[in-house]
C-alpha cells in the first residue's frame, strides 16, 4: 500500500513508512494539544515533495490568526501558499447555505484545486450544523465516500475528548485516529501522541512523546522492551579497563556486548572507573561514548587529567565523546530515544551511562523507567556494544542494595564499590558480584584512586571490616 510520508521526525517510523494514501484520518485532542500544528506540519512537508493540500476551515480558528502563528515555524513557507497549500473557508458555506450545501461545496473545491490532501479544521464544529446525530452520521458517511473517490488523503481535525473517540459516528468511518494530549509529569509539561487506529498499516502502539518547537513537531517513539526473547550472538572477545589487576579479576575484561553495573556509594570512583574503561577502548581504537547526567565534560576532563589519563587527545581525535545532559533537563521519554540515536550515529563500541540513578529520578513511574532501561539494554546488546551503567548506592557501607529498581537483573556483570572501616580509617574495596558466563575473582580487593590512576591492591582478609 502506498504511504504518505509525513516528514515529521520519527512519525513515519512509528507508522511503518507513513499514512496509507487515500485514508481518512481524524486528529483529535483538546484545545492547545497541537492538532493544527500537527496537520500544518504535514502539509508543508508534503508540499516540498510536490503534493497539494486543500485546508478547509470551519469556525475553529481565524485564518488570519492561524497563518500569523504558523510563520513562527521553520516548516512554513509563503512560497507554497495558493499553489501547494490552499486555504478555503467551509464554515461560511455551512452557516449561510446549510449543511446540505457543504458537501457540494467541498466537491467543487476538490474539482477546482485537485488536491492530494484535504483537511477540515475543525470537523467537530460541523456537528453544530446538524439537528441530530443521525443526520450528522449520514453526512459523515457521504463525505467519506465522496472524498475517497477523489483519491485524497483526509485529515479531520477536532477537539474530541478521549471518551468520545469510541462513541461518535465519525470515528467509525475513520481509517486512522491520532489522539494528541498533554500530561503533567514531575518536572515537565509533556505532550503525547497515540495512534488508536490505522487500517491497512502496521504501527507502533502506545504513548509517544512529542515536542513542538520552532522546527515543528518532533516525535520521540515510545521505548519498550521487545516481547520476543532476546537473541544475540555471544562473543568471547574481552574488553579490558587497562587496570591490570582488575582485568585479571575479570579474566581479561568484560565480555564484548555485555552490560555491566558499577554500583557504589558517593565518592567511590564509579565515574572514574567507567571513564577509564572508555579511555582504554580509545587507546585500542574503539569508539566510546560517555553519557553523563552528573558531571559536565569539562569536569570529567579535569578528573581524567588529574589521574594522568590522556583524555584530551582522544576527544580531539574523535575516539571518545562525552555528552552531558543536565539532570534538571533530563527527560527520559525524549532522551532514551536520543541516546540510541547517538550510539547508532557514532558507531560506538563502548558506552557508559553515568548514572542510571539520575535517569531513575527523572521518571515518576518506576515501571516506565525499567521498561526504558530494558529497551535500551536490548538494543545495546543486539549491537554488541559493551556497556557500563553506573548506579549510586545510597548506603555506601552496604553492598546488599545494588539498585532499588532491580536493574541488576538485566545486567550481565556487577561490580560493587564500597567503603569499609579499618580502625579509624575508611578504605575502598571493589568486588565482582556477577560475571555472566565467565569466571571471575570472588575476592573483595582494596583499591585506591591516586594521581597515577586506579590501582587494585590486596585482598580484604579481615571480615570484621565488613558490616
Partner 1 sequence: MCELIENQIERYETMLREMWTESAKYLGTFSVNLLVERVVWELSQEYKEIELLQYGQDGITCAGLAAGLNKNPDLPVDDMFVKFIIRYLEILARLLGHEKTEKIAKRLNEEFGRIPFDSKEE
Which residue ranges make up the site for partner 1 (CB under 8 A)?
Answer: 22, 111, 142, 145-146, 148-151
**Which residues contact residue 182 at a Cβ distance below 8 angstroms, ignoring those fewer than 6 apart?**
30, 32, 33, 189, 190, 191, 192
CB of 19 to partner 1, least distance (A): 16
- Work out whether strand 189-198 and strand 176-184 pair parallel, antiparallel, or are unpaired: antiparallel
Nearer to partner 1, 102 or 269 (CB): 102
Nearer to partner 1, 21 or 465 (CB): 21
CB of 157 to partner 1, least distance (A): 23
**Which residues contact residue 355 at a Cβ distance below 8 angstroms, ignoring those fewer than 6 apart?**
270, 271, 293, 294, 389, 390, 391, 392
Nearer to partner 1, 111 or 229 (CB): 111
CB of 111 to partner 1, least distance (A): 6
Nearer to partner 1, 111 or 214 (CB): 111
Nearer to partner 1, 198 or 429 (CB): 198
CB of 80 to partner 1, least distance (A): 25
Nearer to partner 1, 20 or 29 (CB): 20
Cis omega (within 30 of 0) for bond into 424: no
CB of 117 to partner 1, least distance (A): 15
- Give the whole-angstrom CA distance, residue 45 versus residue 40: 8
Q: Is residue 123 classed as helix, strand or coil in its secondary structure? A: coil
Nearer to partner 1, 145 or 230 (CB): 145
Q: Which three cell numbers stand for residue 282?
A: 580509545
Spatial contact of 324 and 317, defined as CB atoms under 8 Å apart: no
| CB neighbour class for 145 (10 Å; exposed up to 12, middle 13-18, buried from 19) | exposed
Spatial contact of 339 and 373, defined as CB atoms under 8 Å apart: no
- Which residues share a beta bridge with 388? 260, 352
Instruction: Show the CA angle centred on residue 94, arms to residues 90 and 97, nearest 5°.
Output: 125
CB of 176 to partner 1, least distance (A): 17
CB of 149 to partner 1, least distance (A): 4
Amino acid at each position: 500500500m502506498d504511504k504518505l510520508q509525513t516528514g515529521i521526525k520519527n512519525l513515519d517510523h512509528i507508522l511503518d513508512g507513513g499514512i496509507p494514501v487515500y485514508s481518512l484520518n481524524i486528529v483529535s485532542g483538546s484545545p492547545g494539544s497541537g492538532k493544527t500544528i500537527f496537520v500544518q506540519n504535514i502539509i508543508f512537508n508534503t508540499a516540498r515533495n510536490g503534493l497539494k493540500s486543500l485546508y478547509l476551515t470551519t469556525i475553529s480558528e481565524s485564518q488570519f490568526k492561524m497563518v500569523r502563528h504558523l510563520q513562527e515555524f521553520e516548516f512554513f513557507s509563503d512560497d507554497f501558499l495558493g499553489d501547494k497549500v490552499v486555504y478555503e473557508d467551509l464554515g461560511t458555506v455551512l452557516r449561510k447555505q446549510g449543511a446540505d450545501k457543504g458537501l457540494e461545496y467541498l466537491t467543487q473545491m476538490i474539482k477546482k484545486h485537485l488536491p492530494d490532501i484535504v483537511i477540515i479544521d475543525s470537523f467537530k464544529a460541523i456537528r453544530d450544523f446538524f439537528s441530530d446525530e443521525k443526520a450528522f452520521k449520514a453526512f459523515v458517511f457521504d463525505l467519506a465516500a465522496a472524498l475517497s473517490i477523489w483519491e485524497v488523503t483526509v485529515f479531520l481535525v477536532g477537539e474530541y475528548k478521549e471518551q468520545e473517540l469510541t462513541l461518535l459516528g465519525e470515528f467509525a468511518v475513520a481509517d486512522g485516529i491520532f489522539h494528541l494530549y498533554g500530561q503533567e509529569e514531575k518536572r515537565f509539561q509533556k505532550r503525547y501522541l497515540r495512534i488508536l487506529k490505522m487500517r491497512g498499516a502496521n504501527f507502533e502502539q502506545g504513548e509517544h512523546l512529542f515536542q513542538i518547537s520552532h522546527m515543528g513537531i518532533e516525535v520521540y517513539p515510545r521505548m519498550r522492551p521487545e516481547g520476543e526473547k532476546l537473541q544475540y550472538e555471544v562473543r568471547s572477545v574481552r574488553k579490558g579497563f587497562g587496570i591490570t589487576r582488575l582485568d585479571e579479576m575479570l579474566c581479561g575484561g568484560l565480555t564484548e556486548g555485555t552490560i555491566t553495573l558499577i554500583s557504589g556509594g558517593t565518592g567511590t570512583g564509579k565515574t572514574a572507573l567507567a571513564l577509564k574503561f572508555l579511555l582504554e577502548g580509545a587507546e585500542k581504537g574503539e569508539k566510546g561514548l560517555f553519557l553523563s547526567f552528573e558531571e559536565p565534560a569539562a569536569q570529567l576532563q579535569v578528573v581524567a587529567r588529574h589521574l594522568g589519563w590522556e583524555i584530551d587527545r582522544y576527544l580531539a581525535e574523535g575516539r571518545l565523546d562525552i555528552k552531558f545532559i543536565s539532570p534538571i533537563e533530563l527527560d527520559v521519554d525524549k532522551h532514551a530515544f536520543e541516546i540510541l540515536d547517538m550510539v547508532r550515529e557514532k558507531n560506538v563500541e563502548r558506552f557508559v551511562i553515568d548514572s542510571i540513578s539520575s535517569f531513575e529520578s527523572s521518571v515518576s513511574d518506576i515501571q516506565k523507567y525499567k521498561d526504558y532501561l530494558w529497551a535500551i539494554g536490548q538494543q545495546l546488546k543486539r549491537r554488541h556494544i559493551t556497556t557500563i551503567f553506573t548506579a549510586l548506592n545510597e548506603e555506601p557501607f552496604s553492598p546488599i542494595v545494588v539498585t532499588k529498581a532491580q536493574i541488576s537483573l538485566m545486567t550481565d556483570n556487577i561490580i560493587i564499590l564500597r567503603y569499609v572501616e579499618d580502625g579509624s580509617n575508611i578504605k575502598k574495596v571493589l568486588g565482582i558480584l556477577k560475571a555472566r558466563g565467565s569466571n571471575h575473582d570472588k575476592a573483595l580487593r582494596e583499591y585506591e584512586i591516586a594521581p597515577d590512576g586506579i590501582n587494585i591492591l590486596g585482598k580484604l582478609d579481615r571480615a570484621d571490616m565488613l558490616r
